[in-house]
C-alpha cells in the first residue's frame, strides 16, 4: 500500500485532498510523520463548535509503526479548513492500493 505523508500546512485550500462519505482514509496525528495515524471509513460530516469535521469510524490505529485494532469514532477537521496558526488543514488522506 502506498500513501503519501500528508502536507498539513497548505497555503491554498483548493489544493486540499477531497474526501467523501464512504472513502477509506487515514487521519494523521503529526505533521510530516507517516507512522502515527488512525484508519477508517468516513461515515459523515458534522459541524463541531463552528469547525467542519469528518466523522470517521476508525478500525485501527498505528503508533510509531505498530498497528492495533480499535473501534471508535474520530472527528478530524475537514481538509481545506483554515488553521489557527495559518494555512489550511490537509491531514486526512484517502487510502490507495
How does 28-40 read in b/e, with b if 16+ C-beta sit within 10 Å?
beeeeeeeebbbb
In the numeric block, which cell numbers belong to residue 39?
Answer: 484508519
Q: Nearest Cα to 27, choosing from 83, 87, 96, 74?
A: 74
pLDDT given at position 1: 44
Segments making up each domain of the chain, as ranges: 13-94
pLDDT digits 0-9 by tens, 7-62: 777 888 888 999 999 999 999 877 667 788 999 999 999 999 999 999 999 999 99
Candidates 58, 56, 50, 52; CA nearest to 80 is 52
Closest alpha carbon to 43 in 72, 13, 85: 72
Amino acid at each position: 500500500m502506498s500513501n503519501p505523508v500528508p502536507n498539513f500546512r497548505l497555503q491554498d485550500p483548493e489544493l486540499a485532498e477531497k474526501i467523501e462519505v464512504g472513502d477509506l482514509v487515514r487521519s494523521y496525528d503529526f505533521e510530516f510523520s507517516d507512522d502515527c495515524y488512525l484508519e477508517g471509513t468516513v461515515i459523515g460530516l458534522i459541524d463541531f463548535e463552528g469547525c467542519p469535521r469528518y466523522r470517521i469510524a476508525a478500525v485501527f490505529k498505528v503508533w510509531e509503526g505498530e498497528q492495533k485494532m480499535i473501534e471508535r469514532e474520530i472527528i478530524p477537521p475537514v481538509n481545506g479548513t483554515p488553521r489557527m496558526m495559518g494555512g489550511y488543514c490537509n491531514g486526512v488522506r484517502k487510502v490507495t492500493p
